[in-house]
């Protein structure tokens, strides 16, 4: 059974940093691209970033480019998202998702709140 | 960036009725790379349809997708109580800027 478990969310001040992690199990992690998709409170879905199975290719939405860094550790089946220079508009539930174009499994999300 | 516009914003129907949800793209979606997701309150989205018309694993056959180019439709043939949720369309043909529609809320009448 595919399982994705996010952690690392919390309250951070504008301009601060936070690192999200996603522990994956139930599938061959290194063979699959992975992504982060976020959802602001009461709003729709927004693709944030994707990474290839090897980690050699990364992609970002314009809204986070230069501030967020996606990475993965295939030896630990873990996906990460380093978020720097956070803004109020980054407040959202961040989902870890399997896939890079189509998202066939999702975690339950980790809430990030950017507020002073 | 391809903008997806879903209609209606809210659809009120009764169990047993047929639901028709629309997703219109601002530009043609290549190779019908269009997906539909269902999201229930407090839950993560679930993939329903990909490639415009292929059902994901475990999705009941009352869910069907159709369309091409810029106009796509999700149809639920006979609504079950568990089908009332928010539905999102997503295009994944324009790499890597994969965009979602704003969602259609399907509520019980």
B6, B101 contact by CB (below 8 A): yes
A27 touches chain B (CB under 8 A): no
Q: What is the pLDDT of residues B54-108, one digit of tens each?
A: 999 999 999 999 999 999 999 999 999 999 999 999 999 877 678 999 999 999 9
Q: What is the pLDDT of residue A1?
A: 94
The C-alpha of A15 sits at a distance from chain B's nearest C-alpha, in angstroms, of: 25
Q: Which pLDDT score is estimated for A116?
A: 94
Q: pLDDT at position B96, please? A: 67
Cβ B50 vs Cβ B31: under 8 Å: no
For residue A39, the cross-strand partners are: A45, A93
Tokens of A90: 């980054």
Is residue B21 helix, strand or coil? Answer: strand
| A24: its two tokens | 């994956």
How far is the C-alpha of B77 from the C-alpha of B65, rounded, in Å?
A: 11
Over residues B30-50, the mean pLDDT reads 94
Torsion of CA A74, A81, A46, A16, to 10 degrees: 180
Q: Does A9 touch chain B (CB under 8 A)?
A: no
Q: Which residues of chain A have pLDDT under 70?
A: none
């Amino acid at each position: 059974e595919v399982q994705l478990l996010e952690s690392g969310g919390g309250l951070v001040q504008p301009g601060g940093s936070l690192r999200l992690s996603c522990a994956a199990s139930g599938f061959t992690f290194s063979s699959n691209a992975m992504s982060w998709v976020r959802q602001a409170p009461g709003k729709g879905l927004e693709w944030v970033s994707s990474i290839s199975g090897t980690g050699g290719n990364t992609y970002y939405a314009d809204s986070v480019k230069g501030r967020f860094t996606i990475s993965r550790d295939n030896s630990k089946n873990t996906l990460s998202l380093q978020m720097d220079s956070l803004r109020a508009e980054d407040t959202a539930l961040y989902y870890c998702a399997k896939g890079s174009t189509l998202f066939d499994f999702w975690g339950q999300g980790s809430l990030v709140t950017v507020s002073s | 960036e391809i903008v997806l516009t879903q209609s209606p914003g809210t659809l009120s129907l009764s169990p047993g009725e047929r639901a028709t949800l629309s997703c219109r793209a601002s530009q043609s979606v290549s190779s019908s790379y269009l997906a539909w997701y269902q999201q229930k309150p407090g839950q993560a989205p679930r993939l329903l349809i990909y490639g415009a018309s292929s059902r994901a694993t475990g999705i009941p056959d009352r869910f069907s997708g159709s369309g091409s180019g810029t106009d796509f439709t999700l149809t639920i043939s006979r609504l079950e109580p568990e089908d009332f949720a928010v539905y999102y369309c997503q295009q994944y043909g324009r790499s890597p800027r994969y965009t979602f529609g704003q969602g259609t809320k399907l509520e019980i009448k």
